[in-house]
Structure 1
Amino acid sequence: MKRICTICARGGSKGVENKNIRQIAGKPLIAYTLEQAQVSRLFEVIAVSSDSPEILDVAQCYGVNVLIQRPPELATDEAPKLPVIRHCVEETERIVNRRFDIVVDLDATSPLRLPEDIQGAVNLLESQNLGNIITGSPARRSPYFNLVELKDDGVVQLVKPPITAIVRRQDSPKCFDMNASIYVWQRDVVFNAPSVFNQDTRLFVMPESRSIDIDSELDFEMVEFMLKKRQGV
């Protein structure tokens, strides 16, 4: 199998300024994902897509194979994920003159994953010949038990009212939080599927301790604490 790893990191950030290259526990945030991809030894090519020259410079310093300049229309707040991945894959295939079988997209804002998580998600897809894999962790809240929505008239109700009452969260259907850490695709699926969720999409489960996606200053502080603890600092 010919595999490509894409890491798509925009320069702009609303919640945490310049978060992809901000120093966290001693190195730029994106560096953790780059190193995990390298240590996994799964990929013929690791490609970073960005609209930011600073991000691309950091990626080059960490030995990235291919740097992709993302066009402005794919670097807006509204730009969906799939077209960005497709652009990165197509440009990389053009540059290296090679077509890949498997596409693995890693989110730069999820630095707590381990190389073993990447290997596990890829193995799940390849061993069962699936279309795509997403990752997630067991949810603390359940839409059947203690996750509620507020309706326009002010009424509060469960997001998914069960047919029969559930008195313990443990008795509700298993639910998971998507952690946006790892996406694994068959190439044809990533280019033809209308969304992340398809008929044979499967979940690779990761522990909560490796599933925090940095989207706020509080997330950043929590992840930095956990990274330093992992490093023994």
Structure 2
Amino acid sequence: MNQTIATICARGGSKGLPGKNIREFAGKPLIVHSIEQALACPAIDTVYVSTDDACIADVARAAGATVPYLRPAELASDTASKLPTIEHMVQHLERNGIRIECIVDLQPTSPLRDNDDITRALLKSPKAPLVVSVREASDNPYFNLVERGADGWMHLSKGGGNVRRQDAPKVYALNGSIYVWQRAALAQAAVNGLWSVGMDGYVMPGWRSVDIDDLDDFEYAQWLYQRHRN
């Protein structure tokens, strides 16, 4: 039977906030929030964690995830890309007889997503090669995003500059929280990059889209958690 799996990629090294993936957030290690959200999704068969760190692996296993191996060093550097890391995990599972149809990749630094966000992302566009979670962007290239032109001056990024903010087309920002991959699309993107496949977007509210990279992000996410969850 073809499976839908969740993958969570969590390196041990973090320059912005050392040890962040197992730093306590709202009473449990940060990565555990993503593991528990995936385990609560009925459509997901198994949750796999890819890490190079034995401590993260122990925390993940205790939370109910499967850690088949410690990630090789070439996939754990600051410059290593995430897509080959996910593809490496999927190929390992397939070599061990697991048939995989869909991969739900969850960012461990996005603890504010709802359990239902994962289910909704899975249902958003089942035929899409990829569904990504996004938030409505606060800045808009049709209204106030500018870039330097060939003449050296700043110009509006898109459009003629004659629209009001409320009339500008809606634009979205990837929030990194959820990626729903069809198996073939992941294999293609691992070689040719994220933008080589067709994608649809699942829109999440801004407060659930926080990505923790440093201490300021961590403390802001804690404040949002207390404000909205309690």
Which residue of structure 2 lines up, in the alignment, with residue 182 of structure 1?
A: 178
- Are the equivalent residues in 1 in contact too, given 2:4–2:43 (CA < 8 A)? yes
Does 1:168 find its partner at 2:164? Answer: yes
Provide structure 2 residue ranges, at least 5 long, that are not aligned to the other structure. none
Of 131, 134, 140, the match for 2:132: 134
Q: Which residue of 2 aligns with 1:211?
A: 209
Q: Aligned partner of 1:191: which letter?
A: A
Question: 8 Å contact 1:47–1:67 — kept in the other structure?
Answer: yes
TM-score (norm 2): 0.92
Q: Deviations over 1:117-172 (max 9, x none)?
A: 1111111232xx111111100000012211233579873333x131x323422222
Measured in 1, the distance between the counterparts of 2:162 and 2:217 equals 32
SS, match of residue 67 in structure 1: coil
Distance 1:152 1:61, change over 3 A: farther
Partner Cα distance (2:10, 2:162) in 1 = 42
Partner of 1:117: 117
Counterpart position of 1:4: 5
Whether contact under 8 Å (2:143, 2:165) holds in the other structure is: yes
Amino acid at match of 2:175: N
How far, CA to CA, are the matches of 1:219 and 1:47 in structure 2?
A: 26
Aligned residues: 227
Change in CA separation of 1:90 and 1:54 when aligned onto 2, cut-off 3 Å: same
Contact 2:188/2:196, CA 8 A, preserved across alignment? no
Structure 1, residues 53-73: CA drift from partner, whole Å, max 9, x if none?
Answer: 111111011011343311111
Q: Provide the rounded CA distance (Å) in 1 between the counterparts of 2:64 and 2:53.
A: 17
Give the aligned residue type for 1:54. Answer: C
Alpha-carbon deviation of 1:218? 1.3
Report the secondary structure of 1:85's partner residue.
helix
Distance 1:152 1:32, change over 3 A: farther
What is the letter of the counterpart of residue 111 of structure 2?
A: P
TM superposition shift of 1:93: 3.0
What does residue range 1-233 of structure 1 map to in structure 2 within 5 Å? 2-95=3-96, 97-126=97-126, 129-149=127-147, 155-158=153-156, 160-162=157-159, 164-193=160-189, 194-198=192-196, 200-232=198-230
Q: Residue 109 of structure 1 aligns to which amino acid in structure 2?
A: T
SS in 1 for 2:17: coil
CA distance in 2, matches of 1:138, 1:83: 28
Give unpaired runs (5+ residues) of structure 1: none
